Amino acid sequence: MDNQNQNEGLNRLAGAAESFVKQEKWSRRWTNLLKLSVILYIIVTIVMLASQFTSEEDVLSGSKHVAVVKLEGPIMPGSRTSAETLNPLLNSAFKNPNSEAVIIKANSPGGSPVQSALINDEITRLKKLYNKPAYVVVEDLCASGCYYIAVAADKIYANKGSIIGSIGVRMDTFGVTGLMEKMGIENRSMHAGEHKAFIDPFSPKDEGGRQFFQERILERTHQQFIEAVRKGRGDRIKENENTYTGLVWLGDEAVKNGMIDGLGDIGYVKREVVKQTNTRHYEAEKTFMEQLMGDISSETATRLSMYFTTLK
């Protein structure tokens, strides 16, 4: 009886071991299959991206086209909307003998007045150098520094709901001295120069320094902005008491006051204004991994959006 029980125990143990081994084999197979699927997906994506980019460049490099340069996001030094990044793209777009016109696709709240002025100057220079027209097509927003850039174009188009304008200059700061006093916090910072800390939020308001900055920096920068608008728009802009106050207008009213030239999207400008529908986008070079990860992340975001939509 003991031998029989012992044999049954050994059989059960052997069966359990055999099941475990089979389970491990299936687990390894599924893991390998998953790894292989990921590798195949990456390879297919790489091939598709390479063929897409190569074919587009092959088709457009030797044919007439409209050159498109994107101006998206805040205009800041060291960014994709800085003069250092955009000016070489504009230069390539104008320089290409097959580009018939340059369209700047704009969607920006503005930013650095210096970067905006540098890009404005470059557009003006390139138009004259290559004798090609430049157009700005606004999507949602072209305000402040973006409009500073846009006025260098021959014509500006936008949607009737686009926000246009904000011809003004600002610098944001704040003061917390009252809060510090309530909390028993003492500012012990030091400086040399009477107005060196005139924008320090932890020091009392320096009226003299603020007035100097207002008159010598903000007001003068504002006048430079106004001069650029008048030079670019000429007698098309209908000036009134609100034009240079920093206010904004929707696209349909911006046509009436001469801030833009008409309503239309980029397709309209290509078809009806330039009379050329072949398009080539001039963009800052991305590393291969940036291109790959950008494509994967976009596809993932799209699929997640579709998935969560079906859950509603």
Q: Are residues 287 and 146 in the same domain?
A: yes
Q: Are residues 46 and 123 in the same domain?
A: no
Q: Are residues 11 and 48 in the same domain?
A: yes
Asked if the model's pLDDT at residue 114 lies above 70, the reply is: yes
Instruction: Give a yes or no: residue 10 inside a domain.
Output: yes
How many domains does the structure of the chain reveal? Answer: 2
Q: Are residues 162 and 243 in the same domain?
A: yes
Asked if the model's pLDDT at residue 311 lies above 50, the reply is: no
Q: Are residues 37 and 162 in the same domain?
A: no
Instruction: Give a yes or no: residue 182 inside a domain.
Output: no
Which of residues 199 and 245 earns the better pLDDT score? Answer: 245
- Cα distances from 144 to residues 111, 149, 264, 271, in angstroms, run 7, 9, 21, 29
End-to-end CA distance of the chain: give it in Å, rounded.
64
HSE, side-chain direction, 13 A CA sphere, residue 64: 7
Q: Are residues 21 and 130 in the same domain?
A: no
The proportion of the chain whose per-residue pLDDT surpasses 90, expressed as a percent, equals 61
Instruction: Give a yes or no: residue 309 inside a domain.
Output: no
- Among 20-34, 133-147, 170-184, the least confident range: 20-34
Q: Are residues 126 and 262 in the same domain?
A: yes
Instruction: Give a yes or no: residue 187 inside a domain.
Output: no
The predicted structure's pLDDT at residue 58: 42
Q: How confident is the model at residue 139 (pLDDT cuts 50, 70, 90)?
A: very high
Which of residues 108 and 4 earns the better pLDDT score? Answer: 108
3-state secondary structure of 8: helix
pTM for the full predicted model = 0.74
Residues facing 65 on adjacent strands? 99
* Residue 181, amino acid: E
Asked if the model's pLDDT at residue 42 lies above 90, the reply is: no
Phi, psi at residue 143, to the nearest 5°? -125, 155
Q: 276: domain CATH number?
A: 3.90.226.10
Mean pLDDT computed over 36-50: 62
Instruction: Give a yes or no: residue 274 inside a domain.
Output: yes
Which of residues 80 and 15 earns the better pLDDT score? Answer: 80
Q: Are residues 134 and 227 in the same domain?
A: yes
Asked if the model's pLDDT at residue 87 lies above 60, the reply is: yes
Instruction: Give a yes or no: residue 186 inside a domain.
Output: no
Tell me the H-state helices in the chain: 2-61, 83-95, 113-130, 145-150, 177-183, 207-213, 219-233, 251-256, 266-268, 288-310
Asked if the model's pLDDT at residue 271 lies above 50, the reply is: yes
The predicted structure's pLDDT at residue 23: 67
Instruction: Give a yes or no: residue 208 inside a domain.
Output: no
Asked if the model's pLDDT at residue 227 lies above 90, the reply is: yes
Q: Are residues 125 and 41 in the same domain?
A: no
Asked if the model's pLDDT at residue 59 lies above 50, the reply is: no
Asked if the model's pLDDT at residue 88 lies above 90, the reply is: yes
Asked if the model's pLDDT at residue 246 lies above 70, the reply is: yes
Its domain, for residue 26, covers: 2-53
Instruction: Give a yes or no: residue 198 inside a domain.
Output: no
The predicted structure's pLDDT at residue 150: 98
For residue 162, give the H/E element and its range. Answer: none
Q: Are residues 255 and 146 in the same domain?
A: yes
Q: Are residues 153 and 256 in the same domain?
A: yes
Mean pLDDT computed over 35-50: 62
Q: Are residues 24 and 73 in the same domain?
A: no
Angle, helices 288-310/2-61, rounded to nearest 10 degrees: 110
